[in-house]
Amino acid sequence: MKNEFDYLIIGQGLAGSILAYTLLEKGKKVMVLDEPKLQNCSRIAAGICNPITGRNLVRTWKSKELFTFLNDFYPKLEKQFNQKFFFQTPIYRPFQTLEQQQDWSAQEDKATEEVIYPKNRFLEENVNDPLGGLLIKNGGHLRTDVFLEAIKKYLIAKNAYQERLFDFDELILNKDSENEKVAYQDIKANHIIFCRGAADKTNPFFKKLPILPAKGEILHIDFDKDEKIIKKLNQIILNKGCWLVPYHNYLNGKAIETFTTTFRTGSTYNHDDWTLESTQEAKDEIETKLQAVLNLSYKITKQEAGIRPSTRTRYPLMGTHKDYPQMSIFNGFGAKGVSMIPYFASEFAEYLFTGKELDKILRINKWLLK
């Protein structure tokens, strides 16, 4: 039937988009309902994937599995969609302190195929890196806005997308029916999956989960094209206190330049303000951090804000509701969604199909029992 599906996914941010794609490619019938303004964070995110993170410069959890998967996943979709949105770009991480530098100097065995430890400063002009730093080779960034638009077109072509505001009052869960387990307005499905980002903080079925929304703000800036350092900044992601990522112009969905003077920089973390209004306080914070690492004049052209679906545990949340076997959630990826979601969408699909256990730290029922 036209409006009967295996899976009804609520939300077309990064989590909902990649999960929907994964399920469709595995032969399932999927419908995604989306209210675009609820997924603003996914669309403005810097989309950085970094295997070495934190003040202590440690490997991201499951970095080997995540990066092996994503470095195949995004290029495969670029080829499938005939669209450029994934940029495999090294990350230059200047040392913050002498102690940090000495730690790496004393333990050069930390240098792996993913990390180069330059003996000299990597960026000698205009960049405050007197202690040198690490060049992380296996990094990159996703143009999330371009990616999400490409996924949306794919979903529309598959008759798997509708733009609708989801109303919980119209959701019907049939415990006793084998066929119509989920009904929503004119849609029937065997299973519903919530991927609403920070909005799932108020989801009545999952309100006990440790979702901790975090507002983040970023700046778009333009540099003088004559600055020699700009060419080098186009070849890396700079990350010291804040990140600086090249932002290429697109025309009709295609990248039209390999060199740009436009960059994005940020970001802030605010757990108290969940509005999408840009603030002077965030602008000042980002500029202070940027000017501490970069001695270049620039012009701010735009400021944007989004709400990340972070969690108190700092790990994603996924699984099926203990009382409603036809209902699941796939959420809580925070600032690491670009790195984590492709791998975990595949894992979650296996969980849905076969019951394969999810990693213990991701499971939701321990929270629903509280």
Is the Cβ–Cβ distance between 26 and 210 less than 8 Å?
no
Confidence of residue 66 (pLDDT cuts 50, 70, 90): very high
Q: In the chain, what percentage of residues exceed pLDDT 70? A: 90
Q: How many CB atoms lie within 10 A of CB 221?
A: 23
**Cβ-proximal residues to 182 (8 Å cutoff; 6+ apart), any chain:** 8, 171, 172, 173, 174, 188, 189, 190, 191, 192, 326, 327
Q: Is the Cα dihedral 130, 240, 219, 70 positive or negative?
A: positive
pLDDT for position 256? 61
Among candidate residues 181, 205, 184, 208, the one with its CA nearest the CA of residue 194: 205
Distance separating alpha carbons of residues 332 and 320, to the nearest angstrom: 15
Is 137 a residue whose pLDDT tops 90? Answer: no
Confidence of residue 52 (pLDDT cuts 50, 70, 90): confident
Is 252 a residue whose pLDDT tops 80? Answer: no
DSSP string, 22-63: HHHHTT--EEEEE-GGGGHHHHH---EE-SEETTTTEEPTTH
Is 138 a residue whose pLDDT tops 70? Answer: yes
Q: Which two tokens stand for residue 81?
A: 């969609």
pLDDT for position 183? 95
Q: What angle do CA 185, 190, 193 make, to 5 degrees?
A: 80
Beta bridge partners of 52: 59
Is 313 a residue whose pLDDT tops 60? Answer: yes
pLDDT for position 69? 97
Q: Which residue has the higher pLDDT, 180 or 136?
A: 136
pLDDT for position 293? 92
Q: Give alpha helix (H) positions in 166-241.
A: 228-233
pLDDT for position 126? 81
Confidence of residue 264 (pLDDT cuts 50, 70, 90): very high
Confidence of residue 253 (pLDDT cuts 50, 70, 90): low
Confidence of residue 25 (pLDDT cuts 50, 70, 90): very high
Among candidate residues 52, 143, 132, the one with its CA nearest the CA of residue 100: 132
Distance separating alpha carbons of residues 125 and 175, to the nearest angstrom: 66
pLDDT for position 115? 67
Write out pLDDT tens, residues 73-129: 999 999 999 999 999 999 998 888 888 877 766 655 555 556 665 555 666 678 888
When the pLDDT of each residue in the chain is averaged and rounded to a whole number, the result is 90
Q: In the chain, what percentage of residues exceed pLDDT 90? A: 71
Is 317 a residue whose pLDDT tops 90? Answer: yes
Is the Cβ–Cβ distance between 263 and 244 less than 8 Å?
yes
Range in 153-157, 183-187, 273-277, 360-364 with the lowest mean pLDDT: 273-277
| Mean pLDDT, range 180-205, rounded to an integer | 94
| Mean pLDDT, range 168-179, rounded to an integer | 82
Kindly list the distances between the CA atom of residue 291 and the CA atoms of 63, 216, 276, 287, in Å, as whole numbers in the listed order.
31, 19, 25, 6
pTM for the model stands at: 0.93
Distance of CA 145 to the CA centre of its chain: 11
Confidence of residue 180 (pLDDT cuts 50, 70, 90): low
